Structures are given as structure tokens and as C-alpha cells.
Amino acid sequence: MANLPNDIAITTRIECMSTGGKISDVPPDETAFFYRDAHYWLLVQSDYNDDSEENRRIAAVEEVINVIRAEQFSDGAYVNIPDILLNNFLEMYYGDNLPRLRVIKTKYDPKNFFKFAQSITGV
């Protein structure tokens, strides 16, 4: 992260949101949200106004995320903060709940009407 150019470093941030407490009272398999034992979740974001900056900013965010993951601060991702950099986004978002959620998706949305780029697909 020390290698980030100053113009990117001052507009790239890490937000830390506290979880725990009552969230952990619900078992992970009771809802789609799997990470009930997490103490926090992080959001890495870089702001820009010029579309020509997009690739540089995405690279900066990716660098920060790689440092976080290398330090084993994270083993999942929060679905309400979609991450275009995740290759295995469904596993990262839903953990062990994914197979059950795929069955539910197949039952209630067999034609995949409710979808977006990282949505659950049926079985």
C-alpha cells in the first residue's frame, strides 16, 4: 500500500464496520448471511471523477484488498457491497449456505427473473 501514488492514496480508504453482538446470536444457516461470527467487515473504496482514472483506481483497491487478504484479515465478502474483483463471489458471499440458497432460487425463481451480474443461479 505504500506504493500507491499520493493522488490515489488520499482518495482511497478502508471503512471498518463493526458487527458481532446480536448478529452472532443467529445461527449462520438461519438466513442467507453466513458470517455471523465476524467481528467486523471492511469496505475498500477509491473515489474519482474522471472515467480515465477507472483502471488506476481499481488497481489501487485491488492492491489494498490483496494486502488485507494476505494478512488473513478476511475469509469472506458481504453481498450488499458487491465486489467485481471476486472470482468466487458466490462462495465468498454465502459460504456454506450457497447450496441451500441455490435450491431456494430454483424453487422460487426457476426462470431467473431476479438477477444481476453476481446473483445466485439455480441448481
3-state secondary structure 37-88: CCCEEEEEEECCCCHHHHHHHHHHHHHHHHHHHHCCCCCCCCCCCCCCCCCC
pLDDT at position 108 is 96
Q: Which three cell numbers stand for residue 29?
A: 444457516
Residue 2 reports pLDDT greater than 70? no
Q: Where are the domains of the chain?
A: 6-85
* Region 78-101 average pLDDT: 89
Looking at every residue in the chain, the average pLDDT score rounds to 85
- Average of per-residue pLDDT across 59-67: 85
Q: What is the mean pLDDT of residues 35-61?
A: 86
Q: What is the pLDDT of residues 6-42, one digit of tens each?
A: 777 678 888 888 887 888 899 988 988 888 888 888 8
**pLDDT band of 73, cuts 50, 70, 90:** low
Return the higher-pLDDT residue of 107 and 58.
Answer: 107
